[in-house]
Every structure is written in structure tokens, then in C-alpha cells.
Amino acid sequence: MDIFNVFSIIGTIAFAVSGAIVAMEEEYDILGVYVLGLVTAFGGGVVRNLLIGMPVTTLWSQGYLFKIAIISMTIAFVLPVRWILRWRRSEALFDAIGLAAFAIQGALYATDMGHPLSAVLVAAMLTGIGGGIIRDVLAGRKPLVLKDEIYAVWAMLAGLAIGLGWFETTVELLVLFVIVIVFRMLSVYYKWKLPRRSLRGAFAASERVPVNGQNYKQKDV
């Protein structure tokens, strides 16, 4: 087993448990826990395969990862609450490991198939964050990876570095792996965020019109 398989195992455990915990927070039953955990761990890879032309059936060749995910979710389901809270405190590190491993994996798949740089970027990003987006949508939440600390950017930068041929050998890829983890953890610690612009207040104000210069009523839509 090479080092990246080890990283993929760690990432699978982190993402599967993350999905299971979200399901329990939303009070899903045990079937919902398994579904949300598996979607989080493997959803990004499925979407990536569809977009870059890889057979979706290659997913079934990862049987050992499915078993690891099922075992991880089962353990999370029966763990005492205090242990789950401890996991949550270190979750960011394991999540960063999973993001780095899956982003690099997705980029390598795309480059091996001879896709252009744009496809490599998309493959890296979707493999790293796709499962989390699907998880949040199924749980009725806004996707945290698109509004929390910088997250998807690190996956895209990993894809850019691989697509440009800056990291090719095993040692170089390991260096890239560490770089992604470090920058992801720095963004968590310092709460780095991308620029954002909120129009919620402006839209809310525009839906109210003055009446007699004093009172306001809701504007008909």
C-alpha cells in the first residue's frame, strides 16, 4: 500500500465520520447516517468521474474504502457524545488531510487522461469538496465549503500545481500534500476568508416602499 492510499484512507474516515455526525445533528436515523456518510466520502469522486469521462463503475473497485467508511460510521454512531465532541475539536486536521489527498488524487486522474488545465482544476476541486457540498444540500444546510474559511481554493491550487507540471514525482507530491494541509490549517486558525458581498439587506430594503412618508408596507411581488 503506497502512501497516498494511506492518505485516502484517512480522508475517507474523516469525511465519512463528518457526514455521519451531520446526520446525527439533523436527527436522521441510522440509514440516514450511512447514506450521508457515504455521500460525503465518495460523492466528490463520483461527480469528478462523470465530468472527466472516467467510468463511474470504477468506484466499486474501492471496496476496501467502502468497508472502512462503514466501520467508521458505525463507530461514530455508537460513540459516547463526549468522544464525538473530542473528535470535532480535531476534525479540521483530518478534514485537511482528506482535502489534500482527494484534491491531488483528482488532479492526477485528470492529467493521466490528458485533459486540459481547466479540467484538472475542476477535478481537483470536486474531488476535494464535492462530497461536502452534497452532504450539506441533503442535510438542508448552506454548503459550508463555499462560505466558511478558505477551503476550495486550496484544492484548486493543488490542481493548478499538478496541471502545470510543478509537482510530478512522489516526493514532490508529498511536499504538495503537506503544503495544502498547512495552508488549510492556517486558514482555519486565522479565519482567512475570500472577499464577499452581501445583498440581503439591500434586497430587503428594496421590497419595502414608503407610504405617506412615514409608514412602510411590504411591496407586492
Q: Residues 103-116: what's their mean pLDDT?
A: 89
Percent of the chain with pLDDT over 70: 91
In the predicted structure, residue 107 carries a pLDDT above the cut 60: yes
- Give me 147's grid cell: 462560505
In the predicted structure, residue 220 carries a pLDDT above the cut 80: no
| Helix H or strand E segment including 187 | helix 170-189
Q: For residue 107, give the nearest of 47, 162, 167, 179 by alpha carbon.
A: 162
pLDDT digits (tens, 9 = 90+) for 5-41: 777 787 788 889 888 888 998 899 999 999 999 999 9
Range list of H helices, 26-116: 30-52, 63-78, 81-112
Q: Residues 151-167: what's their mean pLDDT?
A: 91
Instruction: Compute the mean pLDDT over every residue in the chain, rounded to the nearest whole number.
Output: 83
Which residue has better confidence, 212 or 23? 23
> Which pLDDT score is estimated for 38?
93
The distance of Cα 79 from the centroid of its chain, to the nearest Å, equals 24
Model-level pTM? 0.80
Domain positions in the chain:
3-218
pLDDT digits (tens, 9 = 90+) for 58-89: 777 778 889 999 999 999 899 888 887 877 77
* Maximal CA-CA distance, the chain: 76
- Give me 158's grid cell: 493543488
- Tell me the HSE value of 136 on the side-chain side, using a 13 A CA sphere: 13
